[in-house]
Amino acid sequence: MWNAGRVMATADVTVMGAGVFGLSIAWACVQRGARVQVIDTAGVAAGASGGIVGALAPHVPEKWNAKKAFQRDSLLMAESFWAKVADVSGQPTGYCRSGRLQPLLDDAAVALAQSRAASAEELWQGHADWQVVPATGAAWEPPSPTGLLIRDTLSALIHPQQATHALAAAVTACGGTIIQKGTPQGAVVWATGAAGLAAMTAAHTRLVGAGVKGQAALLHYDAGGLPQLFVDGLHLVPHLDGTVAIGSTTERDYAEATTTDTQLDALIAKARNALPVLRDAPVMARWAGVRPRSRSRAPLIGHHPFQKGAYVANGGFKIGFGMAPKVAEIMADLILDAHDTIPDDFRPAASL
């Protein structure tokens, strides 16, 4: 799947980290003709990008800012981005822009959703809708006390493990190299997730970011092609392979990074209670991992604050896959063409 032993003689770009940010940047650079190597001691998708949820959901269309605009643009880029990755790699990514449904619990929630529907017409620029629609009573639909739902068409879903491995295969198909040990050459991009945030914090006088544990589960239930659901704080993601992902917990304090416990049991029970069709769906997999969260909660992308001449792409907490297409584009612009269009809120200085 990836070139585990071949070392590139000379690289223009070295990406440290084979998660979604690192591989997306490698993919963008290799398509522009750069010689690219990716180095990750643990291998492809070994960290948070090896997760199972894959909910690509936008911020609400109100109180607009650069972060929300960036995410909108990235979500709109995603369909063509992942289609090309699948075509070049010959592997599925699990991407599907099938939208999202959310129940409206009371009259106040309905009024707020209707106001957001009006603002979405302007802020999403006609590329997607945010609508208040009547519930139909379908099996794959969240119960709603008001009989109304939010339906948005900007949300999409992806299979994180499949997508990350497809990215790796696309990079190598275009001549890039992915290795576990090697010497950085050329422009160096640090995309090393929670470990990278810890290293930056150690080089600074205060917290830059930290890892946040999440637990999630896969159930056997085929709702492939239907919208994802957001119910009572839970993402219910119907993957195209006949599974439904449930996620996730948010744990800042934890003893074991990759073990699941009663918190996931409670999450599964909550999902079954929220959606009756999942009550008898067997659990196929349980997952836990640590996701990188910057102090500002925004991604950290641009020039590395502590390594002269290097770059950083980190902190895609819960939005990494949604942000990756746009992050890859602007990082390739910066690295290869010295063209800097990074939003101010995303620059590492914003979290220092």
- Work out the pLDDT band at 67, boundaries 50, 70, 90: confident
pLDDT exceeds 50 at position 60: yes
Give me the chain's average pLDDT, please: 95
Confidence bin at 33 (pLDDT 50/70/90): very high
Q: Is the peptide bond before 144 cis (omega within 30 degrees of 0)?
A: no
What is the sign, positive or negative, of the torsion defined by CA atoms of 243, 244, 245, 246? negative
* Domain span at 255: 212-291
Q: 3-state DSSP call for residue 290?
A: strand
Residue 4 lies in a domain: no
User: Does 287 lie in the same domain as 222?
Assistant: yes
Neighbours of 208 (CB within 10 A): 26
How confident is the model at residue 349, as a pLDDT? 84
| 132 contacts 148 by C-beta, under 8 angstroms | yes
pLDDT of amino acid 317: 87
122 and 253 inside one domain: no
**CA dihedral (109, 95, 71, 17) positive or negative:** positive
Predicted pLDDT at 282? 98
316 domain-assigned: yes
The reply to whether 114 and 179 lie within a common domain is no
Q: Is the separation of the CB atoms in 275 and 244 below 8 Å? A: no
Counting DSSP H helices and E strands in the chain, the numbers are 7, 16
Residue 4 has pLDDT above 90, yes or no: no
pLDDT value of position 173: 98
Q: Is residue 196 domain-shared with residue 251, that is, in the same domain?
A: no
- Range with the poorest average pLDDT among 2-16, 100-114, 253-267: 2-16
User: What is the reported pLDDT for 352?
Assistant: 82
Task: Identify whether the C-beta of residue 237 lies closer than 8 Å to the C-beta of residue 228.
Answer: yes
Same domain, 183 and 329: yes
191 with 315, same domain? yes
Question: Angle at which helices 20-31 and 320-337 pack, to 10 degrees?
Answer: 40
| Whether the predicted pLDDT of 320 surpasses 70 | yes
Which structure tokens are listed for 46?
Answer: 């070994």
Kindly state the DSSP code that residue 345 receives in the 8-state scheme: G
Residues in the chain: 352
Q: Is 2 contained in some domain?
A: no
User: 174-202: per-residue pLDDT in tens?
Assistant: 999 999 999 999 999 999 999 999 999 99
Question: How large is the average pLDDT for residues 71-92?
Answer: 98
pLDDT for 1 equals 37
The two three-digit tokens of residue 158, written as one number: 């992806």
Structural domains of the chain, count = 3
In this predicted structure, the answer to whether residue 232 has a pLDDT above a threshold of 60 is yes
| Residue 284 is assigned to a structural domain of this protein | yes
- The answer to whether residue 1 is domain-embedded is no
The answer to whether residue 224 sits within a structural domain is: yes
In the DSSP assignment, the letter for residue 266 is: H
What secondary structure letter does DSSP report for 349?
G
Looking at the predicted structure, is the pLDDT value of residue 350 above 90? no
Give the torsion sign (CA, 285, 286, 288, 294). positive
Of the listed ranges 8-12, 100-104, 237-241, 333-337, the least confidently predicted one is 8-12
Q: Which two tokens stand for residue 180?
A: 């576990």
Q: Of 250, 268, 291, which marks where a domain is finished?
A: 291
- pLDDT-derived band of residue 42, with 50, 70 and 90 as boundaries? very high
Same-domain check for residues 234 and 249: yes
Comparing 2-11, 149-158, 317-326, the range with the smallest average pLDDT is 2-11
pLDDT at residue 8 tops 80: no
One domain for residues 65 and 147:
no
**Mean pLDDT confidence for 297-322:** 94
The whole-number average pLDDT for the span 149-169 is: 98
Task: Choose among 341, 332, 334: nearest CA to 33.
Answer: 332
Distance between CA atoms of 222 and 40, rounded to whole angstroms? 34
202 in the same domain as 279:
no
Let me know if residue 333 belongs to a domain.
Answer: yes
In percent, the amount of the chain with pLDDT more than 70 equals: 97
Q: In this predicted structure, what is the pLDDT of residue 351?
A: 73
Q: To the nearest 10°, the Cα dihedral for 83, 89, 94, 95?
A: -20
- Least reliable range by pLDDT among 2-16, 75-89, 311-325: 2-16
Q: Do 33 and 122 share a structural domain? A: no
pLDDT of 9-20, one tens digit each? 689 999 999 999
Tell me the sheet residues that pair with 312.
190, 302
The domain that contains 42 carries what CATH number?
A: 3.50.50.60
Exposed / middle / buried, residue 306 (Cβ in 10 Å: 0-12, 13-18, 19+):
middle
Residues 233/211/200/176 CA torsion (nearest 10 deg):
-90
- Predicted pLDDT at 297: 87
Burial state string for 117-148 with b = 16 or more CB within 10 A and e = fewer than 16? beebeebbeeebebebeebeeeebbbebebeb
Secondary structure (DSSP) of 275-310: -GGGTTPPEEEEEEEEEEEETTSS-EEEE-SSSTT-
Closest alpha carbon to 157 in 251, 233, 79? 79
User: What does pTM read for this prediction?
Assistant: 0.95
Both 61 and 167 in one domain: the answer is yes
Mean pLDDT of 127-145: 96
Residues 218 and 174 placed together within one structural domain of the fold: no
